[in-house]
């Protein structure tokens, strides 16, 4: 009978229940549990399994370049990172309020890690997130224009509750990219959130976007009431490389 029950749970794709019940049978705990205790154990196992699978899916579809965690952020004083500010962002209430976050600082300072860590946290809390390198995203959108999938790509971006644009303004926007950026920002404005990382200060973004009228419209929507973080200090990449070199000497 138990084998039959296990098979039914497997076919129903109740993976959490299946493994919990199988473990209970194999360990001998099954006979010591009341019906209520067994049911509670199986339901909890299924709940946890589905929750973990949902988080794994969110992270997979977010397309992060690497794993990052808020707990691992470096809060050295020289970096100008306010721990309390980060922890407030990590509760993801800024996403609920459809607010943006702008992270600026020199190369290697940890901007991408910071954005990715907050993105991971948002996935864990059940939000739809999409990470993209800005140059690669707009190159892909140009290709989508050519092969007829542009509307589909834009719709996919619009559905994300948090969009992370890494390495923003690293190169000038041409007319097609500028138009695509305007469309993305307009579609998301006041409805979703955005995290942008950039080596350039916000004041320099106008020139990189080009076309003053469009730049004004885009940045007014991005910057208005956005949270801002300017990272300082030594390049984290150089620091890690230096530490590794010393260890190998």
Tens of pLDDT, residue by residue over 142-152, are 999 999 999 99
Q: What is the C-alpha to C-alpha distance for residues 63 and 61, in angstroms, rounded to an integer?
A: 5
* Burial class for 31, CB neighbours closer than 10 Å (0-12, 13-18, 19+): exposed
Q: Domain boundary residue among 40, 60, 80?
A: 60
Check pLDDT > 60 for residue 246.
no
192 close to 160: Cβ distance less than 8 angstroms: yes
Instruction: Say whether both 112 and 235 belong to one domain.
Output: yes
Instruction: Say whether both 124 and 24 belong to one domain.
Output: no
pLDDT at 31 (0 to 100): 76
Instruction: Say whether both 47 and 98 belong to one domain.
Output: no
Quote the pTM value.
0.84
Structure-model confidence comparison of residues 155 and 237, the more confident one:
155
Residues 2-13 have a mean pLDDT of 86
Q: What is the CA radius of gyration of the chain?
A: 23
pLDDT at 235 (0 to 100): 66
Instruction: Say whether both 34 and 87 belong to one domain.
Output: no
Q: What share of the chain is helix, strand, coil (3-state, %, to 5)?
A: 65, 10, 25
Q: Residue 2 to residues 15, 26, 31: CA-CA distances in angstroms?
A: 16, 11, 12
Domain for residue 51, yes or no? Answer: yes
126 close to 141: Cβ distance less than 8 angstroms: no
Percent of all residues in the chain with a pLDDT value above 70, rounded to a whole number: 94
Domain for residue 45, yes or no? Answer: yes
Instruction: Say whether both 121 and 150 belong to one domain.
Output: yes
Total count of domains within the chain: 2
Instruction: Say whether both 10 and 124 belong to one domain.
Output: no
Domain for residue 249, yes or no? Answer: no
Largest CA distance in the chain: 74
Q: Domain boundary residue among 11, 31, 60?
A: 60
pLDDT at 26 (0 to 100): 83
Instruction: Say whether both 113 and 15 belong to one domain.
Output: no
Weakest-pLDDT range from 73-82, 136-145, 155-164 = 73-82
Instruction: Say whether both 50 and 148 belong to one domain.
Output: no
CATH number of the domain at 77, please. 3.40.50.300
Domain for residue 153, yes or no? Answer: yes
Range of the domain at 47: 2-60
Q: Give residues with Cβ within 8 angstroms of 56, minimum separation 6.
A: none
Over residues 161-198, the pLDDT tens digits come to 999 999 999 999 999 999 999 999 999 999 999 999 99
Check pLDDT > 90 for residue 18.
no
Check pLDDT > 60 for residue 247.
no
Paired strand residues for 133? 166
Q: Give residues with Cβ within 8 angstroms of 96, minimum separation 6.
A: none
pLDDT at 78 (0 to 100): 75
Q: What is the C-alpha to C-alpha distance for residues 219 and 182, in angstroms, rounded to an integer?
A: 9
Residues 62-70 have a mean pLDDT of 97
Q: What is the C-alpha to C-alpha distance for residues 22 and 140, in angstroms, rounded to an integer?
A: 47
The listed range with the strongest mean pLDDT (43-52, 159-168, 232-241) is 159-168
pLDDT at 242 (0 to 100): 52
Domain for residue 56, yes or no? Answer: yes
Nearest 5°: the CA angle 177, 180, 183 is 150
Domain for residue 157, yes or no? Answer: yes
pLDDT at 32 (0 to 100): 79
Domain for residue 248, yes or no? Answer: no
Instruction: Say whether both 90 and 186 belong to one domain.
Output: yes
pLDDT at 240 (0 to 100): 57
Instruction: Say whether both 181 and 93 belong to one domain.
Output: yes
Q: Domain boundary residue among 60, 81, 97?
A: 60
Instruction: Say whether both 54 and 152 belong to one domain.
Output: no
Instruction: Say whether both 39 and 137 belong to one domain.
Output: no
Domain for residue 160, yes or no? Answer: yes
């Amino acid at each position: 009978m138990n084998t039959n029950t296990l098979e039914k749970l497997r076919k129903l794709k109740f993976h959490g229940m299946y493994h919990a019940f199988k473990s209970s049978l194999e360990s001998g705990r099954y006979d010591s549990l009341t019906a209520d205790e067994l049911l509670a154990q199986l339901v909890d196992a299924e709940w946890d399994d589905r929750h973990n699978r949902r988080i794994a899916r969110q992270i997979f579809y977010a397309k992060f370049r690497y794993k990052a965690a808020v707990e691992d952020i470096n809060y050295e004083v020289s970096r100008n990172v306010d721990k309390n500010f980060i922890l407030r962002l990590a509760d993801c209430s800024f996403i609920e309020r459809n607010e943006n976050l702008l992270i600026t600082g020199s190369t290697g300072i940890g901007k991408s890690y910071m954005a990715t860590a907050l993105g991971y946290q948002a996935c864990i809390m059940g939000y739809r997130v999409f990470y993209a390198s800005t140059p690669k995203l707009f190159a892909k959108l140009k290709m989508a224009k050519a092969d007829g999938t542009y509307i589909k790509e834009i719709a996919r971006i619009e559905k994300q509750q948090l969009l992370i644009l890494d390495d923003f303004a690293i190169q000038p926007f041409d007319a097609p990219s500028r138009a695509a950026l305007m469309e993305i920002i307009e579609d998301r404005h006041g409805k979703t959130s955005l995290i942008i990382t950039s080596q350039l200060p916000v004041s320099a973004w106008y020139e990189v976007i080009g076309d003053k009228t469009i730049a004004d419209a885009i940045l007014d929507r991005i910057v208005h009431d956005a949270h801002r973080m300017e990272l300082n200090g030594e390049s984290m990449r150089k620091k890690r490389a230096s530490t590794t070199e010393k260890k190998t000497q």
